[in-house]
C-alpha cells in the first residue's frame, strides 16, 4: 500500500527524528510514503536517503537560526538594550483610587489606556498580602515581632 501526499510537511517545523519515526512506523505497517510535489518515494533506499538528507539540512538550518537569535539577544543585553515587553508604566495608586471611587475595570483600562488584564493585575497585587515590601506595608507585623526574631524582606 502507498500513502500519497501532495507535499511533505514543512521540514523546518519537524525534527528529523520525529519525521523518521513516522517513516519507520509507515514502513513497519508496509506503507510507502510518496510525496507528489517533491517526487519522492520512500519505498526504496534512495528515496529514504534523500528524505534523511533533506531533513538533516532543515534541522541544521533551524538550529542555526536559533543560535543566531540567542547570539543577537546576548549582544543586545551586553549593549544594555531592553529585551521583551516594556514594563507597565502606570500609576498604581491612581488605579486603586479610581477603583475605590466605583469605576469598573473597563472604565479604568480606558482612562489609563491599558488592558483590562493589566488593571486586574494591579488590583490583585494591591490585595495580595505577599506583594513586594509586604512587611513594610503591614506595620502590625513589625510591632508584634520579638526582638530576637529576624524578619526577611
Residue 35 lies in a domain: yes
Q: Give the integer Cα–Cα distance in Å for 48 and 8.
A: 13
Residue 146 lies in a domain: no
Distance of CA 62 to the CA centre of its chain: 17
* pLDDT recorded at residue 130: 58
Set of cell numbers at residue 111: 482612562
Q: How many domains does the chain have?
A: 2
- Considering the domain architecture, whether residues 49 and 117 belong to the same structural domain is answered as no
* pLDDT recorded at residue 1: 67
- Considering the domain architecture, whether residues 67 and 106 belong to the same structural domain is answered as no
Q: What CATH code is carried by the domain that includes residue 99?
A: 1.10.10.60
Contact 36, 46 (CB under 8 A): no
**The domain containing residue 117 runs over which residues?**
85-127
pTM listed for this prediction: 0.46
- Residues in Cβ contact with 142 at an 8 Å cutoff, skipping those fewer than 6 apart: 135, 151
Q: Which residues of the chain have pLDDT under 70?
A: 1-16, 129-153
Q: Give the integer Cα–Cα distance in Å for 11 and 140.
A: 62
* pLDDT recorded at residue 70: 95
Question: Would residue 97 be called left, alpha or beta, if left means φ above 0 and alpha means ψ between -120 and 50 degrees?
Answer: alpha
* pLDDT recorded at residue 94: 93
| Residue 83 DSSP symbol | -
Which residues make beta-bridge pairs with 32? 2
Contact 31, 1 (CB under 8 A): yes
Amino acid at each position: 500500500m502507498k500513502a500519497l501526499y501532495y507535499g511533505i510537511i514543512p521540514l523546518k517545523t519537524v525534527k528529523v527524528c520525529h519525521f523518521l519515526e513516522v517513516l519507520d512506523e509507515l514502513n513497519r505497517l508496509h506503507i510507502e510514503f510518496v510525496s507528489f510535489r517533491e517526487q519522492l518515494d520512500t519505498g526504496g533506499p534512495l528515496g529514504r536517503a534523500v528524505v534523511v538528507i533533506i531533513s538533516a539540512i532543515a534541522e541544521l538550518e533551524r538550529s542555526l537560526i536559533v543560535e543566531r537569535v540567542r547570539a543577537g539577544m546576548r549582544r543586545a543585553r551586553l549593549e544594555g538594550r531592553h529585551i521583551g515587553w516594556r514594563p507597565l508604566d502606570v500609576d498604581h495608586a491612581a488605579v486603586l483610587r479610581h477603583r475605590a471611587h466605583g469605576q469598573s475595570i473597563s472604565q479604568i483600562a480606558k482612562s489609563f489606556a491599558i488592558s483590562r488584564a493589566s488593571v486586574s493585575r494591579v488590583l490583585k497585587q494591591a490585595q495580595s498580602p505577599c506583594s513586594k515590601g509586604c512587611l513594610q506595608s503591614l506595620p502590625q507585623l513589625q510591632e508584634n515581632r520579638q526582638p530576637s526574631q529576624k524578619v526577611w524582606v
